């Protein structure tokens, strides 16, 4: 039994249509990946599972969908324009560029010997673009580097339109853009990615307790969807690592690199920060953006105040906020890696993704045993249509090879059930259901099939 490595996952993803290099036909575009048919389904299922847990199953939330293009003032007053940078170094010999805190000290320069590096200098990660036909300094917006700012600048709009009391949350899933110095490790570090973010607004003074609760809540979500506890751990950021807005941040780390030596196997999949009242203090009429070095920026542009009226104390206050922020792509990668297994059973090898059924791209594959038998094919297609029409079960008709090949293919994309139509099925209206994980098979009547599968997916 062997588990995943990043290389094995990259190869499976290409082979089975989960992910392709962005713009591959033209030599690629570094830091971009395109989700193929299986990848798009898996990623959508990850987002759906997150939205269900954080929106549908709670009574204290609102979901929004803000613009990717943002007025540069949003990112100026958030502090990103001045501080959202990574330390960049150049090698004077080979001219390659690196992120200073990520360079491998053992890496050799292609020009010979060690790299000859410049002093680190800040490199801002935000993508600028232009809006409208005339280019000037005033119409340069940024593409958002995170979900959070779209939520903070809409705090008052959401509050006024929903009449919420603290604590409550605003959540968002969407694309974010960062001009990473060295995108690498497949979809772990890319320049275009998606985030799932929660901003949980609380009364000042209750923030530390809510921070603790959110860390526990988020860990439980990963476990619920099958991440093995030993592959996830917490990292409490020391004060010198904290972002300018954070009072405390705990990162959830996943074992993305099991092939590395022990202390280099884990890296961040999600960050959970206590952002205090920092952001709403920046984004409000007459507000103030404070920086780590003691300097600050007075807000001269916001057109209204963003405060909360607390009835019990009869005061206008600025809520604190707890932010769990996860990357959809990294989370999808974690589920792929965690569910991957190479097995040898009775002398036969197979690769299987033991994905949680809610996440599996396809729930059922319907396979005719002989693809040259029109009756059998017709029966298989009818069963596929019926299972699919209920809406919940993503079902595929698969006649792409012999039965062994179909099973192998479905195991590799994590399909929990294969339904096979054979010669006898035409007479007795019964089909064989094969289970992905145990490989056990049951004979079920067609009438009872949908119920049988739904009961086992619940």
Nearer to ligand ATP, 99 or 371 (CB): 99
Q: Which of 270, 277, 338, 411 binds ligand ATP (CB under 6 A)?
A: 270
Q: Is 369 in the site for ligand ATP (CB under 6 A)?
A: no
Number of neighbouring beta carbons within 10 Å of residue 55: 15
Per-residue contact track with ligand ATP, 216 to 255, x per CB under 6 A? Answer: ----------------------------------------
**Phi/psi at 26 (nearest 5 deg)?**
-110, 30
Q: Is 325 in the site for ligand ATP (CB under 6 A)?
A: yes
Q: Which of 144, 275, 330, 436 binds ligand ATP (CB under 6 A)?
A: 330
Taking the alpha carbons of 116, 266, 45, 49 in that order, is the dihedral positive or negative?
Answer: negative
Q: Provide, rounded to whole angstroms, the least separation between the CB of residue 269 and ligand ATP.
A: 5
- DSSP annotation of 431 reads E
Q: Which of 90, 268, 386, 399 binds ligand ATP (CB under 6 A)?
A: 268
Nearer to ligand ATP, 35 or 193 (CB): 193
Q: Is 180 in the site for ligand ATP (CB under 6 A)?
A: yes
Q: Provide, rounded to whole angstroms, the least separation between the CB of residue 266 and ligand ATP.
A: 12
Q: Report the half-sphere exposure of 397 (CA within 13 A, side-chain side).
A: 14
Taking CB atoms, the residue at the shortest distance from ligand ATP is 327
Query: What distance in Å separates the CA atoms of residue 72 and residue 141, rounded to the nearest whole number?
Result: 5
Quick one: which segment of 14-22, 208-216, 324-332, 399-407 binds ligand ATP (CB under 6 A)?
Answer: 324-332
- DSSP annotation of 389 reads H
The H or E element spanning position 445 is strand 441-445
Q: Is 148 in the site for ligand ATP (CB under 6 A)?
A: no
Q: Is 19 in the site for ligand ATP (CB under 6 A)?
A: no
Residue 221, SS3 per DSSP: helix
Quick one: which segment of 232-240, 258-266, 325-333, 422-430 binds ligand ATP (CB under 6 A)?
Answer: 325-333
**Phi/psi at 295 (nearest 5 deg)?**
-80, 165
Q: Provide, rounded to whole angstroms, the least separation between the CB of residue 356 and ligand ATP.
A: 19
Q: Is 323 in the site for ligand ATP (CB under 6 A)?
A: no
Query: What distance in Å separates the CA atoms of residue 453 and residue 458, rounded to the nearest whole number?
Result: 9
- DSSP annotation of 101 reads T
Site for ligand ATP in 121-140 (CB under 6 A): none
- 49: Cβ–Cβ under 8 A, 6 or more apart, which residues? 225, 356, 358, 359
The H or E element spanning position 296 is strand 296-298
Q: Is 178 in the site for ligand ATP (CB under 6 A)?
A: yes
Query: What distance in Å separates the CA atoms of residue 105 and residue 119, rounded to the nearest whole number?
Result: 15
Number of neighbouring beta carbons within 10 Å of residue 220: 11
Q: Is 149 in the site for ligand ATP (CB under 6 A)?
A: no
Q: Which residues bind ligand ATP (CB under 6 A)?
A: 146, 178, 180, 189-190, 193, 195, 268-271, 325-327, 329-330
């Amino acid at each position: 039994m062997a588990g995943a490595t990043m290389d094995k996952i990259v190869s499976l993803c290409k082979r089975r249509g989960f992910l392709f290099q962005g713009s591959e036909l033209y030599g690629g575009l570094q830091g971009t990946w395109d989700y193929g048919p299986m990848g798009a389904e898996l990623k959508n299922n990850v987002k759906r599972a997150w939205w269900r847990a954080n929106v549908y199953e709670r009574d204290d939330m609102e979901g929004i969908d803000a613009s990717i293009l943002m007025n540069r003032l949003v990112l100026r007053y958030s502090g990103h324009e001045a501080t959202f940078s990574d330390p960049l170094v150049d090698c004077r010999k080979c001219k390659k560029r690196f992120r200073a805190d990520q360079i491998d000290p053992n890496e050799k320069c292609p020009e010979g010997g060690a790299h000859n590096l410049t002093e680190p200098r800040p490199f801002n990660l935000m993508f600028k673009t232009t809006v409208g036909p005339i280019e000037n300094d005033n119409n340069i917006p940024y593409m958002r580097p995170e979900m959070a700012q779209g939520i903070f600048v809409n705090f008052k709009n959401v509050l006024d339109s929903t009449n919420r009391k603290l604590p409550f949350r605003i959540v968002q899933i969407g694309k974010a853009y960062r001009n990473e110095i060295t995108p690498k490790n497949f979809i772990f570090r890319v320049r275009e990615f998606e985030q799932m973010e929660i901003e949980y607004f609380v009364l000042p003074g209750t923030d530390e307790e809510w921070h603790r609760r959110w860390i526990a809540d988020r860990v439980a979500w990963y476990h619920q969807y099958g991440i093995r506890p030993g592959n996830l751990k917490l990292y409490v950021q020391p004060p010198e690592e904290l972002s300018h807005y954070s009072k405390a941040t705990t990162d959830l780390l996943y074992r993305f690199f099991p092939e590395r030596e022990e202390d280099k196997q884990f890296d961040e999949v999600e960050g959970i920060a206590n952002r205090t009242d920092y952001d709403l203090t920046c984004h409000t009429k007459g507000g103030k953006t404070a920086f780590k070095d003691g300097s600050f920026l007075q807000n001269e542009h916001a057109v209204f105040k963003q405060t909360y009226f607390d009835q019990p104390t009869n005061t206008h206050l600025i809520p604190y906020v707890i932010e769990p922020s996860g990357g959809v792509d990294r989370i999808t990668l974690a589920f792929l890696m965690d569910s991957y297994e190479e097995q040898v059973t009775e002398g036969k090898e197979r690769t299987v993704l033991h994905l949680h059924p809610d996440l599996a791209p396809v729930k059922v594959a319907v396979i005719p045993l002989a693809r040259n038998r029109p009756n059998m094919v017709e029966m298989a297609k009818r069963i596929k249509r019926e299972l699919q029409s209920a809406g919940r079960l993503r079902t595929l008709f698969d006649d792409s090879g012999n039965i062994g090949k179909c099973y192998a293919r479905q195991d590799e994309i994590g399909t929990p059930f294969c339904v096979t139509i054979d010669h006898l099925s035409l007479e007795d209206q019964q089909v064989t259901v094969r289970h992905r994980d145990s490989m056990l098979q049951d004979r079920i009547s067609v009438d009872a099939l949908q119920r049988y599968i739904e009961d086992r997916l619940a």
